[in-house]
Amino acid sequence: MLTKRIIPCLDIKDGRVVKGTKFLNLRDAGDPVELAQYYDNEGADELVFLDITASAEKRDIIIDVVERTAEKVFIPLTVGGGIKSIEDFRKILRAGADKVSINTAAVKNPNLIKEASEIFGSQCVVVAIDAKRHYVNEDEIDKIDKNVVKVEDGYCWFEVYIYGGKKETGIDAIEWAKKAEELGAGEILLTSIDKDGTKSGYDLVLTKEISKSVKLPVIASGGCGKPEHVYEAFTIGKADAALMAGILHYREYTIEEIKKYCADRGIPMRLL
């Protein structure tokens, strides 16, 4: 059985790691290179580095930070934010990243997924999906051309958002995940905007629905507050990896504590 992965996420703004709630109210969490090195030593399985305002600000990603980070870490590094073209993929991979994450550009130009997977291999292409619950009344379900699911407090479908969670698209996240897989994506990085930064646990309904809709590995993201949430993402959400930020950046838990909690409950983990 494949081991499940614990992946710290470094959201970068103006060259610093930041953390917010529901993609808003960002606060400083440290230097990206120092944090990356720390997590590498702590036993992280991979790292995700996201330049969270690059797409919204319509600028290129900060290559020098990627290069400095890649020099210091020896685990797989995924980089995303502001990537719009094959040339951008090439720059990021040359800077030392192992995988490239695309969200806004993939939605606007789905063929980029296909092109990138053909040129660099699907293992390099991570499609990031930022999704938010769109609630509907029970009597409207049959009239809606979306994948409506039952959740704790009613019924909803999951809408894809772009530009760092700032713009809705009207696209159904489940259908988009299936299309990304067809086009050649190697992995889905799935973030619940509703849960992001709340520390109330992952959106397990969203994670499970996407996980069962594709054969690709799914990384659960948004809402991690304690080791139990990670365990639930693996068991209930059927995720292959769990992404987290705040609980690690602010030293609320260590990677070792999270891995031990899961391993003690039968989840296969890579332990130091």
Q: Is residue 272 part of a domain?
A: no
The reply to whether 184 falls in a domain is: yes
Q: Which residues are catalytic?
A: 11, 130
Q: Look at residue 64 and tell me if it is in a domain.
A: yes
% of the chain at pLDDT higher than 70: 92
In this prediction, residue 272 carries a pLDDT of 82
Determine the Cα–Cα distance for residues 102 and 100; give it in Å rounded to an integer: 7
Q: Is the dihedral of CA 133, 135, 138, 141 positive or negative?
A: negative
**What tens digit of pLDDT does each residue of 259-268 get?**
999 999 999 9
The C-alpha atoms of residue 243 and residue 89 are separated, in whole angstroms, by 22
Q: pLDDT, tens digit, for every residue of 146-188? A: 999 999 999 999 999 998 888 999 999 999 999 999 999 999 9
Q: How many domains does the chain have?
A: 1
The per-residue pLDDT for range 95-149, each reduced to its tens digit, is: 999 999 999 999 999 999 999 999 999 999 999 999 999 999 988 998 899 999 9
Considering the domain boundaries, does residue 157 fall inside one?
A: no
**Nearest of 35, 44, 40, 43 to residue 74 by alpha carbon:** 40
Helical segments of the chain, H only: 32-42, 63-72, 86-94, 104-108, 111-120, 173-183, 204-213, 227-235, 246-249, 255-264
pTM reported for the whole predicted model: 0.93
CA separation for the pair 130, 193 (Å, rounded): 6
What CATH number is associated with residue 64?
Answer: 3.20.20.70
CA 94 – CA 211 distance, rounded (Å): 31
